[in-house]
Amino acid sequence: MSAPSPKLVTAGLWLVVLAVSLYLLVIARDLLIPLVLAIFIWYLINLLARQFSRLKIGGHPLPMALQYVAAIAVAATIAGLFGTLITANINQVIETAPAYQQNINQLILDNFERFGFEEPPAIRSLIEGINFASILRNLASALGGLMGNLGLITVYLVFLFLEQKFFTQKLKAIFPQAKQFDTAQSILQRIDKDVSIYLGIKTMVSALTGLISWLIMAAVGLDFAGFWALLIFVLNFIPNIGSLLATILPTLLALLQFDTLVPFMIVGIGVGTTQLIIGNFVEPPLMGRSLNISPLVVLLSLVLWGSMWGIPGMFLCVPITVILMIILYQFDASRWIALALSKNGQVTPSSQRP
């Protein structure tokens, strides 16, 4: 019996490593999600600090300590405003939920009568059994569970900042040869550049989408238009299904709030068209100059990380995929994986190609 070929052994080892990695990611999710979120927040704070380093007082840049104090203050203020706005509006929506529920119940029953259908008793029982307030409370509880990790995230953040000044020293110890060190540093710089470009572009287009959507919703008098605009901004960071949810949720509220279908159609068509134009004609050219990920890979990444880590995984799936592509491309044995994940067989963004 002949021995298996080296390529077959290598492929088998890759499958074993992949299976073990996925298993560990699932069973350790309660520890890993706060850690990854802490790393993400730590990275954003460093990104803000670099922006503050451009400010000058009397011709001199801000001291590094002030740069980080300002960055942390801005990040904490934004997070506090988001949390306050979301919590306050969810509570108001829960208080208004009985009126919305009465509207939808009446709307369904009126349509049964309008089209001459006899209303089966089971339909009435089903309609009366829908409890929007309970659904919203469950949603608020899920958000509260996510916020409950703030303590652990804060602990991770403190240790990340304490360790930060030793990163370069550790990297030199891990890669003592100058060539290896330069390669590792180049990979980290590439990850930093691509992730920061992605976050910048995504923030800009999401803010634009939220602003236009708010103008449309406010024009028709939709309740909590500011809250829905903020939710649209946040959901647009989830690829594919985020924009779909961001369109459906305020559109459904318009159906519940108003007695006529005109506001419902205006919100649905207006917000949907905004998502369509920005998502298909504005964002892709901008992202195309920074990232080169296959759309199919983005969708599969969304499904994979969403199934393992839930909502945090959906938000983090693209940055994680970018990092994996860059790292896998550096090694001959795994370069083919990075090329398969790319859009056109080129991992280097078009902006960096000669």
Quickly list DSSP for 256-270: HH-SSSHHHHHHHHH
pLDDT at 13 over 70: yes
Q: How confident is the model at residue 207 (pLDDT cuts 50, 70, 90)?
A: very high
Confidence at residue 106, expressed as pLDDT on a 0 to 100 scale: 67
Nearest to 318 by CA among 335, 299, 343: 299
255: three-class secondary structure by DSSP: helix
Helix boundaries (H) for the chain = 6-27, 29-52, 64-114, 121-129, 132-147, 150-164, 167-174, 178-220, 225-235, 241-257, 262-277, 283-288, 295-329, 335-341
Q: What are phi and psi of 57, to 5 degrees?
A: -120, 115
The lowest-confidence range among 216-225, 226-235, 340-349 is 340-349
CA–CA separation, 128 vs 274, rounded Å?
A: 35
Q: Which residues pair with 56 in a beta bridge?
A: 61
The lowest-confidence range among 69-78, 146-155, 261-270 is 146-155
Mean pLDDT of 154-168: 88
Confidence at residue 296, expressed as pLDDT on a 0 to 100 scale: 86
Mean pLDDT of 214-224: 92
Q: How confident is the model at residue 268 (pLDDT cuts 50, 70, 90)?
A: very high
The lowest-confidence range among 112-116, 126-130, 177-181 is 126-130
Q: What percent of the chain has pLDDT over 70?
A: 77
CA–CA separation, 257 vs 247, rounded Å?
A: 16
